[in-house]
Every structure is written in structure tokens, then in C-alpha cells.
Amino acid sequence: MSNRLINWFRYGSPQSFYPLAGRMVPWFAAAAAVTGAAGLWIAFFVAPTDAQQGEAYRIIFVHVPASWLSMFLYIVMACWAGLGLVLNTRLSAMMAHAIAPTGAMFAFLSLWSGALWGRPTWGTYWVWDARLTSELVLFFLYLGYMALNAAIDDPRRADRASAVLALVGVVNVPVIYFSVKWWNTLHQGASVSLTRAPSMAATMLTGMLVMAIAFWMYSIAVALMRVRSIMLEREAHTDWARELKESAA
């Protein structure tokens, strides 16, 4: 037990996590490519046409995974930010910063694909409905987090200020998730639930889950790529960074 603890803390420092992250990136990228290809195959060639929505429903295969990831990544980002606030470790804040842009991208893609799905099914690209509005708030929380980081010159102060913002914003995630239950929304209810049978064909559900795994693997790969750049940018003056056998060429 004590051995394991020591190992975890060893990887808590940038100089030991940097090479580990570098070794993990190709594996997660490969997993993302394989599951992504499988997911697209199921989405277009296996899943049947929907009886009510025709082919328009196929947007679900990017919309739902992107929405899930935008929420999951926010929680993961807030956990790292909170850990950094409590333990004052350098790596935690860097991990939180590395996740934010990818989370913002998925929040944008959720809104974008939702708008393109809303037009043919509801007759409008946008409506100020609880689900859509709270997802838009999530997108702005990501942007606010990144803007706050960029606005404060001292990185350690920026870490703490943005961590507080990230933690306060966590309140919004359950609001998004339960908005379709709490309010009378135009948006449909949850597609997947642990407490009842799925409301869709098994192949549709499988396609959605495979795409979600692909987005997860992708997110881990790009977050690790980004955290490595953040480490180099922040620790360029340290011995471990200078002694790296890596160059731009």
C-alpha cells in the first residue's frame, strides 16, 4: 500500500509525468482512431433508419457523446483544479488547464450539432429552453475559465483564481443533466438511463456508446499532449526541462 502511494506521488511531479504522458499519447490516439472508425461504421451502416425522424436522427451519434464529454470533462477539470487548490501541486493545475479547451470544444460541438438537429425536428435552430441554455452556460464557463487564466500574469495566482471559478461552476453540471426532468423542456428526456430499459434500438445505443468511448480516448490523448506543452512552457527555466533530449526539429 505504502509503495503504491509513493509511486503516485512520484508521478505528481512534472518531470516524471512528462515522459509518462508522452508514452501514453500514441496508445490513446490509436484507441480513439479504432473506436471512432467502428463507431462511424455502426452510425451509418449498421444502425437502422429511425421510424419517426428518418435519417436526421443520425446526428445523435455526435450530439450525445459530445454533450456527455462536455459535462464529464468539466467535472474532471474541476476535480484537478480543486486538488491543486488543496494540495498546491503543480501538476494538478496544469491538468485542469489542459482539459479546458477540449471541454469547450465539445460544449461547442454539442450546441452546434444540437442546433442542426433542432432545425429539422423542432423547426428551430435555437430556443431558450432549460437544457440548451444550461449547456450554453457550460460553454461560457469553459471560456471564462480560460480567459481568467490568461488574464492573470502570475501563473500560481491564475491557478487558484480559475480553480475557484471551476469549482463554483460545477453546480451547473447537474442542472444540465436533470434540466429535462426539472423543467418542461422542448429537449427530449435522457436517452440512456441506468434505471430503465433503453428507449432506442440496441444498435443505435451501441453506436452511441462506441462513439462516446472514441471521444473519451481522443480527449485523454489531446489533454496529455497539451499538458506536456504547458509543462515545457512553465518549467523552461528548470533543470529537468533544460536537460530534456528533445528539440523542435
Partner 1 sequence: MNWGSGAEFFSMGGYGFYVWGSFLVTAACLAAEPLLLAARRRRALERLQAERQRHEAAA
Least distance CB 32 / partner 1 (angstroms): 9
Least distance CB 230 / partner 1 (angstroms): 8
246 sits in the region (left: phi over 0; alpha: psi -120 to 50; else beta) called beta
Longest distance between any two alpha carbons in the chain, whole Å: 63
Least distance CB 116 / partner 1 (angstroms): 4
DSSP 8-state secondary structure symbol assigned to residue 191: S
Nearer to partner 1, 120 or 198 (CB): 120
Nearest to 202 by CA among 68, 58, 46, 54: 46
Nearer to partner 1, 56 or 161 (CB): 56
Nearer to partner 1, 32 or 163 (CB): 32
Least distance CB 26 / partner 1 (angstroms): 12
Classify residue 118 as exposed, middle or buried by CB count within 10 Å of its CB (0-12, 13-18, 19+): buried
Least distance CB 117 / partner 1 (angstroms): 7
Nearer to partner 1, 74 or 218 (CB): 218
Whether 63 contacts 238, CB under 8 Å: no
Give residues in contact with partner 1 (CB under 8 A): 29, 44-45, 48-49, 54-56, 58-59, 62-63, 66, 101-102, 105, 108-109, 112-113, 116-117, 119-120, 218, 221-222, 225-226, 228-229, 232-233, 236-237, 241-242, 244, 246-248
Whether 186 contacts 129, CB under 8 Å: yes
- Distance (Å) of CA 99 to CA 114, 145, 197: 22, 11, 33
